[in-house]
Structure 1
Amino acid sequence: MTLGANIMNDFGNTLSRKRAELIKKYELDVESLPTKEEIDNQTRINALDKLKQQKQEAWSTWNLYPAHQKIQFDFSKWKPDMQEDSENARELGKKAYLLSKRMKNETLNVLFVGAPGTGKTSLALAIAKELDKHILFISTAELAALFDTDLRNSPDIKQKLRNVENAMIGIDVLIIDDLGTEGSMRFKNFGVTEKMQHLMYRVANGRFNFEKNKVARTTLITTNNTDEELNNMYDPKIISRLIPKKQEQRIAFNNMKDVRGMG
């Protein structure tokens, strides 16, 4: 036996002896002690969780919340009784929850459409949280404001727009909030500035798998506008790639009232 082998053998014997001494000293139940494989697996899980948290923190740098105020929501906070038609509100919450379960195994876009303050953004956030993936929140009003600022041509704003765009394309779950509020018929033929059109076109393309003719990553869109209005604001190709046509992927807040500030 070589010297190196002797050293390793002695080291192993020492560890075994120390382990036996600790078990005896603290009267440990050997059967309940985790195995080396279990310890290694838990270490791997903890490392992956830490990496996931770090990645989400990095993505979060590019969130564009309304008025720069972070918003969060989950299904436990959905309160149907705040609506006059509580039964319909309950069904909306149920449809969103069932979609979230389906979306754990299937990549889908979902549209939330209805009047302001009815809970569209809340249910979009609830679905995103249920999916337990990296999330980016983009208010289209805040995004459009980056193009309208007097500093829009500054290197800092240009770099921020590039970073936001890259994040919108690459994130697992993208929430596009209040699509259409940035539109105005004074801009070109579509109602949205040319630069905003181009950015959204690149994002729509980047999140679509043309080879398989299906969405590549989940996008949740909230809007107060009809399909016709959105198509008047944006190039229809953008709307076609972002807005789902299937009714089961649309959550319509029909006859819901504005309950913002009542909770």
Structure 2
Amino acid sequence: MTHGVNTTNSFESIGTILGDLREKVIESRHIDVSSLPTKEELDRQTAINAQKALSRQKQEFYSEQSLWPADTPVSFNFSDWKPDLQENSKVAREAGKKAYLLAKRLAIGEKFNVVFVGAPGVGKTSLALATLCELKKAGKGTVFVSTAELAGLYQQKREYPDILKRLAKVEDAMKHSDVLLLDDLGTEGFSTFNDFGVRTDMQQLIYRISNARFDFKSNRVRGITLTTTNNSQDQLKKMYDPKIISRLVPANKEQRVVFNGFKDVRGV
């Protein structure tokens, strides 16, 4: 008759060995046992780390849904800002400083929207990208959406059914990312004489985005939205429902970086 191994005794022996080893390590390294975390604390920290890892994965997914002009990702840092390219370098320097200070406030946990307003080619997207970069370095999930590229997808969705899946992912990212940069809001509109408008499906999308990124209970933003636009507040309200614009584009002067009197420096 063959007798099996007594696994209970084996486990007890392993437990004893590990216990002895633990005591030796504690003694040799002069560890204060009272300062060691409890099992409950270790479990809690493990759960927190797992949640953070899941959140990072989600934010990376959102970032991958960015819609860049001509499908070409670009980046910009505050150190790249060159005020001397403008005739009034002092005003340009102040615009860069204002954007930088707003970025720092957002990076440490404040929540509010920022709009960059001015003519084409004056540096709105550059400073908005620098702000986005600063917030990404602070650990926030970011997504960049060119409204012109977004409108282009809507124009093609009937021809190419797969675009609907792409749009669904983009919308999810726009709703839930920590930081959304809406670039060139208003260029997706059309104008006839003094009338402005945006196609209905785009209107509906931006309406859903504005609702998702606003906390109606506390009457404050849920996610940070950075917007660049060539249009005035009144023009945007002609293109979109005024409620949409009020939720996305701040009227507060402290949250507006204005490029009045700046010249086009694209060099093309």
> Which residue number corresponds to residue 147 of structure 2?
140
> Which residue number corresponds to residue 206 of structure 1?
212
Q: Does 1:122 align with 2:126?
A: yes
Q: AA paired with 1:88?
A: V
Aligned residue pairs total 253
1:203 CA drift (Å):
0.8
Counterparts in 2 of 1:1-263, with a 5 A limit? 11=14, 14=17, 51=54, 53-103=56-106, 104-131=108-135, 132-149=139-156, 151-152=157-158, 154-185=160-191, 190-261=196-267
Render the CA deviation track for 1:183-232: whole Å, top value 9, x for unaligned.
1025xx64111111111111111111112222111000000111122122
Contact 1:190-1:231 at 8 Å conserved across structures: no
The residue matched to 1:136 in structure 2 has which SS?
strand
Contact 1:185-1:192 at 8 Å conserved across structures: no
- Further displaced range: 67-76 or 53-62: 53-62
Q: AA paired with 2:73?
A: K
- Partner Cα separation in structure 2 for residue 48 and residue 257 of structure 1: 47
1:145 CA drift (Å):
0.4
**CA-atom RMSD in angstroms:** 3.5
Render the CA deviation track for 1:114-156: whole Å, top value 9, x for unaligned.
111221112112222222300010000000001112x436431
Contact 1:191-1:232 at 8 Å conserved across structures: yes
1:126–1:7 CA distance, 2 compared to 1 (3 A): farther
Contact 1:96-1:123 at 8 Å conserved across structures: yes
Percent identity between matched residues is 52
Render the CA deviation track for 1:2-50: whole Å, top value 9, x for unaligned.
x99986785477558778999xxxxx9878xxx976xx79989986775
- Partner Cα separation in structure 2 for residue 255 and residue 173 of structure 1: 29
Render the CA deviation track for 1:131-182: whole Å, top value 9, x for unaligned.
2300010000000001112x43643122222221121111110000001111
- Partner Cα separation in structure 2 for residue 212 and residue 44 of structure 1: 29
1:43–1:258 CA distance, 2 compared to 1 (3 A): farther
- Partner Cα separation in structure 2 for residue 55 and residue 109 of structure 1: 22
Tell me the TM-score normalised to structure 2 length: 0.79
> Which residue number corresponds to residue 25 of structure 1?
none
- Partner Cα separation in structure 2 for residue 50 and residue 77 of structure 1: 32
- Further displaced range: 48-57 or 85-94: 48-57
Contact 2:171-2:209 at 8 Å conserved across structures: yes
The residue matched to 2:191 in structure 1 has which SS?
coil
Render the CA deviation track for 1:94-117: whole Å, top value 9, x for unaligned.
111111222232210101001112
Contact 1:190-1:235 at 8 Å conserved across structures: no
1:30–1:168 CA distance, 2 compared to 1 (3 A): same
The residue matched to 2:76 in structure 1 has which SS?
coil
The residue matched to 1:254 in structure 2 has which SS?
coil
Q: AA paired with 2:161?
A: P
- Partner Cα separation in structure 1 for residue 262 and residue 245 of structure 2: 25
Q: AA paired with 2:133?
A: K
1:83 CA drift (Å):
2.2
1:68 CA drift (Å):
0.5
Q: AA paired with 2:100?
A: Y
